Amino acid sequence: MGGVRVAAWAPPRPGGWREGDPVGDRRFLDLPGPVDLARGGSLPAVRVAYETWGALAPGGGNAVLVEHALTGDSHVAGPAGPGHPTPGWWEGLVGPGAPLDTDRLFVVCANVLGGCQGTTGPSSAAPDGGPWGSRFPAVTVADQVRVEAALADALGIDRWAGVIGGSMGGMRALEWAVALPDRVDALFFLAAGAAATADQLGTQTTQQAAIRADPAWAGGDYLPGPGPVAGVGVARRIAHLTYRSALELEERFGTAVQDDGRYAVASYLDHHADKLAGRFDAGSYVVLTEAMNSWDVGRDRGGVAAALSRVTARSVVAGIDTDRLYPPALQQQVADALGVPLRLVTSPYGHDGFLIEVDAVGALVRELLGT
């Protein structure tokens, strides 16, 4: 294992990080293959892009893993700049004196398997030198965690002081605590569930359908040029409505119409659609939402309750009181199984409150980790 060599080619993909782009704060690790996957496929090798903050203590006992959500990446904290189109997505949670105090802790965040910000995904090079595209195999949350475990091994981390994640990141955090309980001291499970629901399957398969309906999708093997940005934009509009609360949208926009004739709320969704299409790969969007659709921590473990009985980490389970995508009842199920109280964060922002309410979330992190 070692640092990845930057290849000369650039995959013809809109959005996402490409070989030859500025590296920014990323580091890279090559994992030799083959890497076998839970749903029957395999990859000949996997590259992992990750970032770190702080210093690893002798013995590695101060390491904390932060898990990003669907359209997040390894850039938890830090400014936008070359290689990073946006500032850190949990800015304020990581740094000296912050809840994840880098004077004491070694914080790691890796771009997820199947992503488009440096870790192997559909826009990465296949063995023939072209992008994987439609040939990229299906991945699961369990596959993603096994890749993260290999990264931890390479970094000399036998056991995490904490694994922290919200939304899709919460799924991986819980998978860590269930699949590898002897490697997790503390679990922070936020704004997620133990298994996908019909509502989530419905909204996410509809997002996938929007991408696939774009003629530029070309079966996942789209050509150079803008690519299926229209489909990604529609998918983002659908998703963003599930990320926010009806209360916030009504109070913020109501039925106001802008000077250009658009409803203000439609203009807001257009803005977020354009932003995502410029930084995220359509193939990764489909692969990662399918991983979320297949999520069930109890599969092949005797059910959710039996799976959660394997958790030995001290745990904080939290939700957002206005979350309509991952409503608090889903976190209550996990909290009850782990024998801990459900901690609710009050927010008008719905599901996105897990990213926005940094002070409230940070307080819970401090409580869990003693920072």
Q: Determine which one of 73, 296, 323, 352 is catalytic.
A: 323
Stronger pLDDT, 242 or 8, i.e. the higher one: 242
| pLDDT, tens only, 128-142 | 999 999 999 999 999
Q: Which residues pair with 46 in a beta bridge?
A: 31
Q: Determine which one of 25, 68, 351, 352 is catalytic.
A: 351
Annotated active-site residue 351? The verdict is yes
Percent of the chain whose pLDDT exceeds 90 = 90
pLDDT at 33: 87
> What's 27-197+295-369's CATH class?
alpha beta
Annotated active-site residue 271? The verdict is no
Q: Which of 58, 72, 48, 67 is nearest to 106 (CA)?
A: 58
Tell me the average pLDDT across 26-41. 94
Domain(s) of CATH 1.10.1740.110: residues in the chain: 199-292
Tell me the average pLDDT across 93-118. 97
pLDDT at 239: 98
Strand locations in the chain (E):
27-36, 42-53, 63-67, 94-95, 100-101, 106-110, 162-166, 186-190, 314-320, 342-345
316 alpha carbon, distance to own chain's centre: 19
Query: Does residue 44 register a pLDDT over 70?
Result: yes
| pLDDT, tens only, 224-274 | 677 899 999 999 999 999 999 999 999 999 999 999 999 999 999 999 999
The separation between the first and the last C-alpha atoms of the chain, rounded to the nearest angstrom, is 33
| pLDDT, tens only, 151-171 | 999 999 999 999 999 999 999
Q: Over the chain, what is the mean pLDDT? A: 94
Query: Does residue 2 register a pLDDT over 70?
Result: no
The reply to whether omega before 34 is within 30° of 0 (cis) is yes
Tell me the average pLDDT across 45-55. 98
> Which of 5-14, 170-179, 248-257, 312-321 is the least confident region?
5-14
Q: Determine which one of 74, 123, 167, 315 is catalytic.
A: 167
Count other C-beta atoms under 10 Å from residue 266's C-beta.
Answer: 14
Domain(s) of CATH 3.40.50.1820: residues in the chain: 27-197+295-369
| pLDDT, tens only, 330-342 | 999 999 999 999 9
- What band does 10 get if pLDDT is binned at 50, 70 and 90? very low
> What's 199-292's CATH class?
mainly alpha
Annotated active-site residue 323? The verdict is yes
